[in-house]
Amino acid sequence: MLTVSSLGNPMPNDYTYNEHHFVPSQPKVCIIGAGPAGFALAADLKSRGTDVLIYSHPTHHRQASYVLDKGYLKAKGKITSTATPDVTYDISEAVSFTKVIILSVPSTGQETILEALKSFDLRGHTIVAIPGNLFSLVPKVGLEVENIFETNLSPYSCRMHEGELIVLGKKKLIYIGSLHANLSTHSQTQIQHIFPVEVKWCHNIIEVCLSNINGVFHPLMMLMSAGRIESTAGDFMIYADGLTQSVANAMLAVDSVRIAIGAAFGFELKGVVEVSNECYGHDFKDLVDLAQNSGPHNNLKAPPDMGHRNISEDVPDLLVCWYGLAEKLGVEASPIKAVITLVEMATGRDYMEAGRNMRKLNLEHLSRNELLDRFGVGKSKLCI
Ligand SMILES: NC(=O)c1ccc[n+]([C@@H]2O[C@H](COP(=O)([O-])OP(=O)(O)OC[C@H]3O[C@@H](n4cnc5c(N)ncnc54)[C@H](OP(=O)(O)O)[C@@H]3O)[C@@H](O)[C@H]2O)c1
């Protein structure tokens, strides 16, 4: 066996000469973010022979410290394993471990991670943000990265309690894209090689962000169950008990705006149930059917309070940017605005200002046509 470095390729990877042809060797992967989604990905990749290092930010070490204290990670459900994951609090170790970094922190934590990364030369690195929520457009003051990819969702539905991981569901596919659409098939193959699920290439990160259906599910489910969440500290099933027909009706109003924004860019976005069915390989007929019968959803307990990332991530980093795009494009978006306003009234937070608005994403100066020129389907070619 020979190993040859793929110098000059847009993606960092090595190739191994095996029998009569070159095949990509299994890369080393560093996962930044030591929560359930990061640990689930680590356990899955490790079981496939990938060398994985997990980085936990030193001030966000809730689950990492349980795992390190116990000395092992026990995973149950769709992934069953007991293993000793390699975990570090040292960002320089994370950067030097591999050229492939997967970001698995809530998008509200991405800037903290960028701050930790800013003194490193990442011109040979690839970062995949799971989910991206337009991470590529967040100003990176002086930080240059070789490639950035974004996904719409995490491959897993999972939770963690005191260092023990429960994986309720594993998706069959997730959506992925980059800022620039002219990605070679070779680079796509290398990205697919890293992932334990199929990746479906979108035109660009705007289509990926609009395909993060958590923006449809989470804020409304939380808002419309706020009383029950606060009076029971989340002692009920958020989907099975919380997603009833009226909640579903409200979600569909938000979903129709999401699809209309996509249509203005020229994307043919699927409805929320169709995206979920496609990702999990299900065939639920509507939202209530999904909430009652989908294994990855119907066993999820409600969060204990309204500070949860179902609100604090999905409102500022999805709904606020969807609303900003809709305003630019002249798409009627009052259902989305209504949800943002109610959440702001309930929490006292100014998410329109704090979230990924057009100014934060550096899109404020673009006219409608310039926005469409940059991200519309006419201008960006589909890579597959
Ligand atoms: N878990 C799921 O089933 C699921 C499903 C779909 C999508 N996702 C998405 O996948 C991402 C990760 O999910 P998760 O469940 O693993 O999330 P999480 O537990 O809330 O956070 C993941 C990790 O990021 C850390 N973190 C949070 N805020 C941070 C910040 N400001 N700076 C640095 N680190 C920070 C957390 O540490 P602390 O906890 O100590 O703050 C934790 O180690 C999220 O965007 C989530 O929406 C998750």
Question: What pLDDT score was predicted for residue 69?
Answer: 94
Measured from the CB, is residue 158 less than 6 Å from ligand 1?
yes
- Cβ of 62 closer than 6 Å to ligand 1, yes or no, is yes
Whether the upstream peptide bond of residue 85 has omega within 30° of 0, thus cis, is: no
Give the closest residue (by CA) to ligand 1 atom 35.
109
Ligand 1 pocket residue status of 132, Cβ below 6 Å: no
In terms of Cα–Cα distance, which of 368, 363, 354, 325 is closest to 207? 325
pLDDT tens-digit series, residues 202-214:
999 999 999 999 9
What span, in angstroms and rounded, lies between the C-alpha atoms of 256 and 322? Answer: 12
Q: Is 313 in the pocket of ligand 1 (CB under 6 A)?
A: yes
Amino acid identity, residue 360?
K
**Residue bearing the CA closest to ligand 1, atom 7:** 154
| 36 CB near ligand 1 (under 6 Å) | yes
Ligand 1 midpoint to CA 37 (Å): 7
For position 77, what pLDDT does the model report?
96
118 lines ligand 1 (CB under 6 A): no
- Give me ligand 1 centre to Cα 118, in Å: 21
Q: How confident is the model at residue 13 (pLDDT cuts 50, 70, 90)?
A: very low
Asked whether the predicted pLDDT for residue 140 surpasses 60, the reply is: yes
Residue with CA nearest ligand 1 atom 24: 105
Query: Which residue puts its alpha carbon closest to atom 38 of ligand 1?
Result: 60
The predicted pLDDT at position 186 comes to 80
What are the domain boundaries of the chain?
Answer: 2-201, 212-375
- From 41, 56, 59, 60, mutation site for ligand 1 pocket: most ligand atoms within 8 A of C-beta: 60
Give distance in angstroms: CA of 374 to centre of ligand 1: 30
**Which of 32, 57, 314 most suits a substitution to test ligand 1, by most atoms within 8 Å of the C-beta?**
57
Q: What is the 33 CA–ligand 1 centroid distance (Å)? A: 7
373: Cα within 13 Å, side-chain hemisphere:
6
CA–CA separation, 85 vs 300, rounded Å? 25
From 2.60.40.1480, 2.40.50.180, 3.40.50.10490, 1.10.1040.10, which CATH number describes the 212-375 domain?
1.10.1040.10
Question: What is the Å distance from ligand 1's center to 110 Cα?
Answer: 10
Query: Which CATH superfamily groups domain 2-201?
Result: NAD(P)-binding Rossmann-like Domain (3.40.50.720)
Residue 151's alpha-carbon distances to 65, 132, 282, 333, 364, in angstroms, are 27, 5, 20, 24, 24
Q: Name the percent of the chain lying above pLDDT 70.
A: 91
- Assign 3 a pLDDT band (cuts: 50, 70, 90): very low
Chain centroid offset of residue 176 CA: 9
Query: C-alpha dihedral over 126, 129, 134, 140, to 10 degrees?
Result: -50
Q: What is the pLDDT of residue 227?
A: 98
Q: Is 37 in the pocket of ligand 1 (CB under 6 A)?
A: yes
Given a cut of 90, whether residue 384 has pLDDT beyond it is: no
Question: Average pLDDT in the 320-330 region?
Answer: 98
Instruction: Write the pLDDT tens digit of every residue in 224-278.
Output: 999 999 999 999 999 999 999 999 999 999 999 999 999 999 999 999 999 999 9
DSSP codes of every residue in 76-113: EETS-EEE--EEES-HHHHHHH-SEEEE-S-GGGHHHH
| Residue bearing the CA closest to ligand 1, atom 37 | 60
pLDDT, averaged across the chain: 91
From residue 210, give the alpha-carbon distance in Å to each of 104, 259, 309, 341, 346. 19, 8, 18, 20, 25
Concatenated DSSP letters of 7-30: TT-SS--EEEEETTEEEEPPPEEE
Alpha carbon nearest to ligand 1 atom 17, residue: 35
Closest atom of ligand 1 to 60 CA is 40
Ligand 1 in contact with 238 (CB < 6 A)? no
